[in-house]
Amino acid sequence: MPRTLADLCDIQIGLVVRPEEFREVGVPVVGARDLVGHRLTRVPERHLDPDGRRPGRDYRLSAGDVLLTRSGTVGRVALVTEAEQGWLNGPHLIRLRVRDPAAVDSAYLVAYLSAPATQRWFQRVATGSAVQHVSLRMLGQLSVRLPPPAEQHEVGRMLAALDDKVRAHEEVVRATRALRGALADLLTSGDAPDDGIASSR
């Protein structure tokens, strides 16, 4: 039976930070650009002073949280793992924290939110001309189909495994492109050994 996202999760807007507050070291602050391939695949470049704790809600992330971009490229989603626990939920992001992990599998929720049908829903409800964004009210109304927990777990596991393969292939592509660029520099700089081809023409 479908449930709304607001029924299933605590929904929190990310921390609003002034540019002058960021530091080179400290507690990592996750931004939209850090969500890649349904994971946080890089250590954020922006940090906050760990001693400058802010009052109010706790913005620290926990394993199993789901992050969603709320403006710009709306609807990008990533699962927080133990490696990112304690990082901060930063600007332009929404944190979804499942209320009952026994009933809702976080990896399944990532799969559901990243499915083409849900992504089309994000595009329909997003507002704004120059910069698109989705409101918390609309996000909370999103209907989520929940199969039995065992089926959720299997769906989440299968798609997470495919995400791992995609990231591995993308890393090979990046490394190959870097190698190609380095070889192009070497072979066109004039420092490459003369094999006699040019002089024979």
Q: What mean pLDDT is predicted for residues 163-176?
A: 78
Measured N-to-C along each axis, helices 149-188 and 106-114 cross at an angle, to the nearest 10 degrees, of: 60
Split at pLDDT 50, 70, 90, the class of 142 is very high
Higher pLDDT, 31 or 129: 31
What kind and span of H or E run contains 8? helix 5-8
Q: Which of 101, 91, 47, 99 is nearest to 71 (CA)?
A: 91
Measured at the alpha carbon of residue 109, what is the angle toward residues 152 and 7, in degrees to the nearest 5?
Answer: 105
Cα–Cα distances in Å, from 8 out to 3, 51, 64? 7, 33, 14
What kind and span of H or E run contains 88? strand 88-89
pLDDT at 195: 52
pLDDT at 169: 75
pLDDT in tens, 87-131: 999 888 999 999 999 999 999 999 999 999 999 999 898 887 667
Domains and CATH numbers, the chain: 3-190 (3.90.220.20)
Q: Which of 120, 98, 110, 113 is nearest to 160 (CA)?
A: 110
Q: Give the chain's mean pLDDT.
A: 85
Neighbours of 77 (CB within 10 A): 22
Q: What is the pTM of this model?
A: 0.80
Q: Which residue has the tokens 């490459």?
A: 192
Evaluated on CA atoms 54, 55, 57, 63, the torsion sign reads positive
Cβ(136)–Cβ(11) below 8 Å: yes
Termini Cα distance of the chain: 74
